[in-house]
Structure 1
Amino acid sequence: MTRFTRRLTATAAAALIALSFQSFTPAHAEPGVNPELGGAPHITNIEKVNERWDKVSVYSAAMNKVIVNDVYKAPSSGAPTFYLLPGIDGGDNLDPGGSWAPGTKSWFGMTDIQGFFANRNVNVVSPLGGQFSWWTNWVNDASRQYQTYMTAELPPLIDAQYNTNGRNAVGGLSSTGGTAVDYAIQAPGRFQAVGSYSGMLNPSRDPGQIGITLMGGGVSADNMWGPGGGPLWIAHDPTLNVAKLRGVAVYAAASNTGDVGDVDRMPAGSGNFTGGMIERIVWESTRAFADAAAAAGIPITYVARPTGSHTWGLFESEMQESWTTTIGPALGVG
């Protein structure tokens, strides 16, 4: 371990604690369990925001609750689908004093999804909710079965409703970056391309960091994949399972400095200590994943950005770059 890595690990807890305490009180409750719904997964409602943008409510049988999904429809039928996972806050603002409406601290609220994908023949789908869930399946919480939702329940419903071609990609930011890559490992064939935008790609290396983050939401990481470093942590670690990604188009990026830059779209002279520290942590994780991929002979697109401080500006830039370099070509869309 290098001196830089040791120093980073020693200070990681402080940065993650700061992030978690900023993110303690939910802005509003997620849609809850409705025992009257029942049955197989199905669409319960579609609200049209505009001609291309729908809000699609889907009943998850695995969790017995309804998940709302933003959907930006492709201009033509027979298109693939690009899923974008929310961050630790599930699309809500959890920071004191924030002014975002519920569900708008999300891909559709914080980035130019409509502008970037306006002339690209792809359906873009982003689920909301799942605060402090890592968007994975939890062993001790039946209300958190998000991997099942994303890999088995939601895609067939989107395929049928929007007449897709059945080809899919998924990307995630920060806490869900590694999850997006893990989906391709856990559900082979479901996703032809994956993208990690400043994500944690070796979670079993230091489960304590993830545990601190989840503590901010009042939940224990032991209820997610069992005791830290155990078999499920290893099974869900993209770095340790990188060989299972052969044939999947993979993009992984992070900033190797954590320094604020133009990409962050912050006021001149702004600092972002916590974001910068987190970004350096996830860069170490992303680099470890890239090294493991190279050792296993798995081709990936790995980008170490010179600036970026774990902001929506950075995540959007990484997502757009992943589309043009990796995900769009894998889905056959320019």
Structure 2
Amino acid sequence: MSMLRRSGARTARLAAAAAALMILPLVGAGGLATAAPAAEQSASKVERVEGSGRQVTAYVYSASMDKTIPVKVQRPMDSSAPRPTLYLLNGAGGGEDSATWQRRTDVATFFADKNVNVVTPVGGAFSYYTDWQKDDPKLGKNKWTTFLTKELPPLINSEFKTNGVNSMAAISMTGTSVLNLAIAAPGLYKSVASYSGCAETSTDMGRAYIKMVVESRGGAKVENMWGAKNDAAWVANDPVVNAEKLRGTQLYISSGNGLPGAHDNLEETGGISGLANQALLGGVIEGATLICTNNLSKRLGELGIPAVVDFRPNGTHSWGYWQDDLHKSWPMLAASIGL
């Protein structure tokens, strides 16, 4: 059974830094599947698959959003039998920029000897991968919860002959999303890993974080997502408030503390300006996610819901730490899907 580890000695010291998030731009980093309703299954479809070997791109038409979404798929080492699937989501940029798992980490080589389908949608920048209440003039129509829980899984299962057993992992913005996706579709994911996500959405700090992503970076209107500040949707999409609904899903949750660590160096950041951006802005953002993660950890503990909670001793909001998180969480994720 996974253990709940809590730490948070630096939380109070970082509260002031987290508050600065309201005025700083975000760093540029960034069981069996449940069946979808028949109408959604028939309307959504895989239009084509491009590529060869184990690295391919499926172009999936989403009926709910009326558009085609590229989906990166890394096939298992051995495809002679049905294999499980890991949905690995990109961060705030949705994979539409250069801040992706494929470009910033070793996922291709890490999964080269593993019998799992690794699936990463491309799109949905700054959308929180949720179903928006209204179409947005900047971001358009967003029905990502519908896509990721109802439309995409049965198509992936059919096209790639999977065994229908799923897990999900994500970073930053989508570190919030994966928790809400697990809540929205009980049983669809055996396990969920959230790296440097802010699990709170209905608190003042949680709303400020979301507003920075959606409005400051995305140029959209946050009211189009979950309505006005007092709209019930903000609470309905708060994983801390709704933590009881995570019971039964194996959880891995991590955050650094915002202080420079092993991956905050000139070589990995590309020079002085990159290091300054990662250490300063990335430090503030990770300080905020530490507070969110600590609050989620406490709530899970109160409810007696087991989780692995990894408070890294140091580290900013950046890819080197997320690669480490993926490596550390993989044994738990793998075991949950039968590997």
TM-score w.r.t. the length of structure 1 is 0.85
Superposed CA deviations along residues 27-53 of structure 1, whole A, max 9, x for unmatched, are xxxxxxxxxxxx7100111111x4101
Superposed CA deviations along residues 143-172 of structure 1, whole A, max 9, x for unmatched, are 100111000000000001111111111111
1:283 matches 2:290: yes
Q: Which residue of 1 aligns with 2:215?
A: 215
Superposed CA deviations along residues 215-274 of structure 1, whole A, max 9, x for unmatched, are 121111111111225311111111111111111111100102342423773368733200
1:239 matches 2:240: yes
1:134 matches 2:140: no
Match of 2:133, SS? coil
The question of whether the paired residues in 2 share the 8 Å contact of 1:260 and 1:276 is answered with no
Distance in 2 of aligned mates of 1:306 and 1:6: 17
Distance in 2 of aligned mates of 1:220 and 1:122: 38
Superposed CA deviations along residues 82-118 of structure 1, whole A, max 9, x for unmatched, are 001121112133xxxxxxxxxx431122211221111
Rate the CA distance shift 1:167–1:307 in 2: closer, same or farther, 3 A: same
Q: Which residue of 1 aligns with 2:337?
A: 331
Show the 5 A alignment for 1:255-274.
255-262=256-263, 265-266=268-269, 270-271=275-276, 272-274=279-281
Q: Which residue of 2 aligns with 1:117?
A: 111
| Aligned counterpart in structure 2 of residue 78 of structure 1, from 59, 79, 82 | 82
Distance in 1 of aligned mates of 2:23 and 2:329: 31
Match of 2:269, SS? coil
Show the 5 A alignment for 1:297-316.
297-316=304-323
Q: Which residue of 1 aligns with 2:45?
A: 42
Distance in 1 of aligned mates of 2:271 and 2:326: 24
Match of 1:194, SS? strand
Compute the displacement of 1:212 (Å): 2.4
Show the 5 A alignment for 1:140-219.
140-141=134-135, 143-206=141-204, 207-216=207-216, 217-219=218-220
Report the residue type matching 2:208 in the other structure: G
| Aligned counterpart in structure 1 of residue 299 of structure 2, from 275, 292, 306 | 292
Report the residue type matching 2:164 in the other structure: G
Distance in 2 of aligned mates of 1:193 and 1:3: 30
The question of whether the paired residues in 2 share the 8 Å contact of 1:69 and 1:127 is answered with yes
Report the residue type matching 1:294 in the other structure: G
The question of whether the paired residues in 1 share the 8 Å contact of 2:258 and 2:282 is answered with no
Distance in 2 of aligned mates of 1:3 and 1:124: 38
Match of 1:203, SS? coil
Match of 2:287, SS? helix
Rate the CA distance shift 1:316–1:229 in 2: closer, same or farther, 3 A: farther
Identity, % of aligned positions: 34
Report the residue type matching 2:166 in the other structure: N
Distance in 2 of aligned mates of 1:3 and 1:286: 13
The question of whether the paired residues in 1 share the 8 Å contact of 2:134 and 2:141 is answered with no
Rate the CA distance shift 1:199–1:286 in 2: closer, same or farther, 3 A: same
Distance in 2 of aligned mates of 1:259 and 1:148: 38
Where does the alignment leave 5 or more consecutive residues of structure 2 unmatched? Answer: 1-10, 30-41
Distance in 1 of aligned mates of 2:59 and 2:96: 17
Rate the CA distance shift 1:258–1:41 in 2: closer, same or farther, 3 A: farther
Distance in 1 of aligned mates of 2:225 and 2:271: 40
Match of 2:26, SS? helix
Match of 2:146, SS? helix
RCO comparison, higher one (Cα < 8 Å, 6+): 2
